Amino acid sequence: MSTRSDSSRKSSPAPPEPARRPSGLAIDRAPGLQYLKGVGPKRSAALAAIGISSIEALLHYFPRGYLDRSTILPIAKTRSAAGAGEAVTVIGEVYRSEVRRSRRGGRPIFFLTVRDSSGFLTCVWFEGAEWYRKAFEPGEVLALSAVPSFDSYGRIQFVHPEFDRLRGCAAGCMGSALTAGGGFGGWLDRASLPG
């Protein structure tokens, strides 16, 4: 009969401790979101409304969708894509912009006309007309993505399109759709990202 000593018994391994985040990281000492370039107090408040109140939360916020801008249509071909109900992307130069008042209620509506070698396209924003009025410059090149639709006169239009500014960006750009509410459409455009 063999006997074992208590020292020969193997003890079960201790449960692992939960991972701890190192304290003192620069992100912990960073100023509030409103002090980031391009954010400010209004956008910071809008981000806080959707639960993003720190730089860490902003870094861990992922896009709600992804717009594939690798297939780009000329403006003239958007008419045939209107019935499909899928978003398309066009690249155009800002030709004209204006704010008009609605017939009922007099609300401001922003209209942006872009052009390429095949034709013209009107984009319409029913919200934020004053902001959009100041956002675009004549001659600026944009990638615009939306589901094409027809206005009351049968003309093709984009309503509230996602857009990227194409300063230094090749024509097959891909971009994320970071509109989470609070009016962030186009905020993180190619021009505002480092690198």
Averaged pLDDT score across all residues of the chain: 75
pLDDT of 183: 44
User: Do residue 97 and residue 178 come from a single domain?
Assistant: yes
Integer Cα distance of 92 and 95 in angstroms: 9
Closest CA to 132 of 147, 151, 111, 113: 111
More confident residue, 6 or 84: 84
* 4 domain-assigned: no
**Strand positions, DSSP E, the chain:** 65-67, 88-101, 108-116, 119-125, 141-146, 149-150, 156-159, 162-165, 175-177
Mean pLDDT, range 87-116, rounded to an integer: 91
Determine the Cα angle at 79 with ends 99 and 151, to 5°.
Answer: 35
Amino acid at position 87, single letter? A
Integer Cα distance of 187 and 63 in angstroms: 13
* 26 domain-assigned: no
User: Do residue 121 and residue 175 come from a single domain?
Assistant: yes
Question: What residues contact 20, with CB distance under 8 A and at least 6 apart?
Answer: none
pTM for the predicted model, two decimal places:
0.54
Residue 38 has pLDDT above 60, yes or no: yes
User: Do residue 91 and residue 156 come from a single domain?
Assistant: yes
User: Do residue 157 and residue 188 come from a single domain?
Assistant: yes
Mean pLDDT, range 124-134, rounded to an integer: 89
User: Do residue 76 and residue 153 come from a single domain?
Assistant: yes
Q: Would the CA dihedral through 78, 84, 89, 95 be positive or negative? A: positive
pLDDT band of residue 151 (cuts 50, 70, 90) is: confident
Integer Cα distance of 32 and 58 in angstroms: 11
Mean pLDDT, range 144-168, rounded to an integer: 87
pLDDT of 97: 93
* 3 domain-assigned: no
pLDDT of 110: 94
The domain tally of the chain equals: 2
pLDDT of 174: 36
pLDDT of 20: 57
81 close to 88: Cβ distance less than 8 angstroms? yes
Q: What is the CATH number of the domain that holds 146?
A: 2.40.50.140
* 89 domain-assigned: yes
pLDDT of 159: 94
In the chain, % of residues over pLDDT 90 = 20
Domain carrying residue 127: 70-192
User: Do residue 46 and residue 92 come from a single domain?
Assistant: no
pLDDT band of residue 93 (cuts 50, 70, 90) is: very high
Determine the Cα angle at 54 with ends 34 and 132, to 5°.
Answer: 45
Give the number of other Cβ atoms within 10 Å of residue 65's Cβ. 10
User: Do residue 94 and residue 151 come from a single domain?
Assistant: yes
Q: How far are the Cα atoms of 17, 91, 185 from residue 96, in angstroms, in the given order? A: 61, 15, 20
pLDDT of 170: 41
* 8 domain-assigned: no
User: Do residue 111 and residue 182 come from a single domain?
Assistant: yes
* 12 domain-assigned: no
User: Do residue 145 and residue 51 come from a single domain?
Assistant: no
pLDDT of 182: 39
Bridge-based pairing of strands 65-67 and 162-165 is unpaired
* 146 domain-assigned: yes
* 19 domain-assigned: no
Integer Cα distance of 97 and 62 in angstroms: 32
Residue 177 has pLDDT above 50, yes or no: no
pLDDT of 43: 86
